[in-house]
């Protein structure tokens, strides 16, 4: 890749070799799941990436507040995005446990979390201008979640109420 980048006068940043060394020399895991970096690894990777792309620069004291604002906005978006991309209940949302109740709530929940993620993306751009977005106010403009009837009725001695459409499947 470096040769091709050089031939085309494109900046090339080798992140493979330095991070590969980290994997081989660190006792602590560098990822949370074999793919996504841990907080510590992100803290180590960020300067490697930023310095490699933009040159090693110190942050001006008056920019520190903006940097913190951007970091906070990115962390907020990451949390939302991870809850979509690696949805905690994936087997219920996309898999074998989708029926009998998944169609009642998961499509709306996925739509909502994607709207929340998009808002947080806008918050990053605002933070870059030094503006903190009012997330609570922005979130009020997202799609409402439908009311979901419970199938938990202990008065029925722990029997689940399975809708007719699910019983016939």
pLDDT in tens, the chain (169 residues): 999 999 999 999 999 999 999 989 988 999 988 888 899 999 999 999 999 998 988 878 878 899 899 999 999 999 999 888 887 776 767 766 666 666 777 888 889 999 999 999 999 999 999 999 999 999 999 999 988 877 777 777 656 556 555 555 5
Task: Say what the pLDDT of residue 71 is.
Answer: 93
Phi/psi class of residue 11: alpha, beta or left (left: φ > 0; alpha: ψ in -120 to 50)? beta
pLDDT value of position 107: 84
Q: Which helix (H) or strand (E) holds 44?
A: helix 39-54
pLDDT at site 138: 98
The pLDDT score that the predictor gives to residue 13 is 96
Instruction: Answer yes or no: are the C-beta atoms of 79 and 126 closer than 8 Å.
Output: no
Contact 145, 109 (CB under 8 A): yes
Long-range contacts, 77-82 (Cβ 8 Å, 24+): 77/117, 77/120, 77/121, 77/123, 77/124, 80/113, 80/116, 80/117, 80/120, 81/117, 82/36
pTM exceeds cut of 0.75 = no
Which tokens in the block code for residue 29?
Answer: 């895991």
Q: Give the whole-angstrom CA distance, residue 100 versus residue 103.
A: 8
Residue 43: asked if its preceding bond is cis (omega within 30°), the reply is no
Contact 48, 95 (CB under 8 A): no
Whole-angstrom Cα distance, residue 36 to residue 67? 23
Domain ranges of the chain: 1-57, 61-169
Element (H, E) at 19: helix 16-25
pLDDT of residue 162: 60
CA 161 to centroid of chain Cα atoms: 35
């Amino acid at each position: 890749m470096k040769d091709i980048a050089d031939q085309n006068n494109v900046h090339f940043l080798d992140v493979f070799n330095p991070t590969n060394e980290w994997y081989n020399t660190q006792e602590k895991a560098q990822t949370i799941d074999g793919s996504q970096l841990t907080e510590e690894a992100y803290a180590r990777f960020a300067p490697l990436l930023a310095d490699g792309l933009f040159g090693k620069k110190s942050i001006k004291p008056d920019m520190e507040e903006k940097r913190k604002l951007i970091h906070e906005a990115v962390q907020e978006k990451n949390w939302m995005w991870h809850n979509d991309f690696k949805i905690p209940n994936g087997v219920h949302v996309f898999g074998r446990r989708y029926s009998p109740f998944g169609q009642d709530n998961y499509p709306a929940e996925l739509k909502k979390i994607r709207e929340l993620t998009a808002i947080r993306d806008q918050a990053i751009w605002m933070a870059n201008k030094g503006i903190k977005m009012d997330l609570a106010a922005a979130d009020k403009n997202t799609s409402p979640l439908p009311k979901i009837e419970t199938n938990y009725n202990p008065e029925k001695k722990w029997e689940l109420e399975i809708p007719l459409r699910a019983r016939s499947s």
